[in-house]
Amino acid sequence: MRPIYLTLALTFFNFTGNNSMRVLLTLYALHLGASASEVGIIGGLLFLFPVLLSWFVGGLADRKAARKLLLFAATCAAASLLLMYFFPSLPVFYAAAALNGLALSFFHVTLQNLIGNLSKPEERARNFANFSMIGATTSFFGPLLAGLSIDHFGYGWACLATASLSLVVISLVLWQGRHLPPARGRAKAGAAPRTLIDRGMVVMLITGGLVQLGYDLFQFYVPIHGHEIGLSASAIGGVLATLAIAAFIVRNFLAKLSERYPGEKLLMWVFLTGALGFALVPFTSNAYVLGAVAFLFGLGMGIGIPLTVILMFANSSDGRSGQMLGIRLTVNNTVRMSGPMAFGAIGVAVGVSGVFWILAGVMLGGGALALTQKFKNKA
């Protein structure tokens, strides 16, 4: 199997499991009586280790072979879901969320760095677009797997179904992992990656973090809104799947859009559709209308995350791509950890509808910030 195809296959199974886990954690915690703020803390803990370790893991990805890093990550992901199956209680869910986040911190940096290192410069936008389309596909299958498993077999079996995806990852790495490239660290002694003193990098990191915040909190709060208006787990999973369909469609055009439009204009489109989607959610009262809003949201926000990955990789120092992606993921995962916690607390004060309107304003602010900086789309 060609290394690029193996990397995309590993991406599919890993992130399907991750997206299923996020929906499963939210609905299982609500089923056990957790409040919105408790669900926010659990959701935030998914990103504790990605915050603490992404930069470190990025350095490992530059220096170490990917095979061992991926095996470690898959083992942690499977263990987190088995904890939920054998010990279904809220205190255990906190530990399971953190452990699953440990897996995510290794998977995310390692897979992104593999895509970049396996790509020639002229192929990079297309390969990252393919990577992002796989991600969109997993955002479709993950919530559906969680919702259908819960409704038809119960929460325990949903945990086992999601854990089985990690076993597939382990099997693929053991079977075909020898085809993955060795570490490609090429940094010169004393060389340092671009840092936060570069204004362009600061703006890139902030806008990337805001894109991640918007995309994640939409997926986090739509199930809460759906639960409030009486939707079933399958219906909620179906709504989130429409977001994934839209993201998949628009990511098909990412390479051409990157060639035609400057990065700041693309990011402005991302933030405007994000703001509109958040503003419309509180007015929805059934799965069909909510699905249409999710589709609209995905048509813009769907390219935001892969676009910021392309921008970051293109500006990486030679041999430091893993570290630069690690810096990006550290910022993004700080947002992913603190966002659900902060907005969970805000939701107690202003209600779930108020959270959606506040997030619409945040997205507009991100769009304005994006226009203050000229972004290079290519290395």
Q: Write the pLDDT tens digit of every residue in 2-24.
A: 888 999 999 999 999 999 998 89
What's the one-letter identity of residue 50?
P
CB 314 within 8 A of CB 377: yes
Q: Write the pLDDT tens digit of every residue in 150-202.
A: 999 999 999 999 999 999 999 999 998 888 876 655 544 444 444 444 666 77
Tell me, what's the pLDDT at 191?
A: 47
Q: Where are the chain's structural domains?
A: 3-183+193-370
Highest-pLDDT range among 56-65, 78-87, 180-189: 78-87
Query: Residue 64 pLDDT more than 60?
Result: yes
Tell me, what's the pLDDT at 196?
A: 44
Please give the Cα distance from 235 to 285 (Å, whole number).
12
Q: Write the pLDDT tens digit of every residue in 364-376.
A: 999 888 887 776 5
Q: Write the pLDDT tens digit of every residue in 199-239.
A: 667 778 888 899 989 998 998 889 889 988 998 888 988 89
Query: Residue 379 pLDDT more than 50?
Result: no
Using 50, 70 and 90 to split pLDDT, how confident is the model at 271? Answer: very high
Please give the Cα distance from 22 to 27 (Å, whole number).
9
Classify 187 in phi/psi space as left (phi over 0), alpha (psi -120 to 50) or beta.
beta
Residue recorded with tokens 């909510």: 290
Tell me, what's the pLDDT at 190?
A: 47
More confident residue, 292 or 328: 292
Tell me, what's the pLDDT at 376?
A: 58
Tell me, what's the pLDDT at 332?
A: 82
Query: Residue 378 pLDDT more than 70?
Result: no
Please give the Cα distance from 237 to 152 (Å, whole number).
13
3-183+193-370 fold: Growth Hormone; Chain: A; (1.20.1250)
CB 1 within 8 A of CB 198: no
Tell me, what's the pLDDT at 329?
A: 78
Query: Residue 134 pLDDT more than 60?
Result: yes
Query: Residue 58 pLDDT more than 90?
Result: no
Tell me, what's the pLDDT at 322?
A: 65
Tell me, what's the pLDDT at 377?
A: 54
Q: Which of 105-114, 138-147, 257-266 has the lowest mean pLDDT?
A: 257-266
Q: What would the DSSP string read from start to end of 222-289?
A: HHHHHHHTT--HHHHHHHHHHHHHHHHHHHTTHHHHHHHS-HHHHHHHHHHHHHHHHHHGGG--SHHH
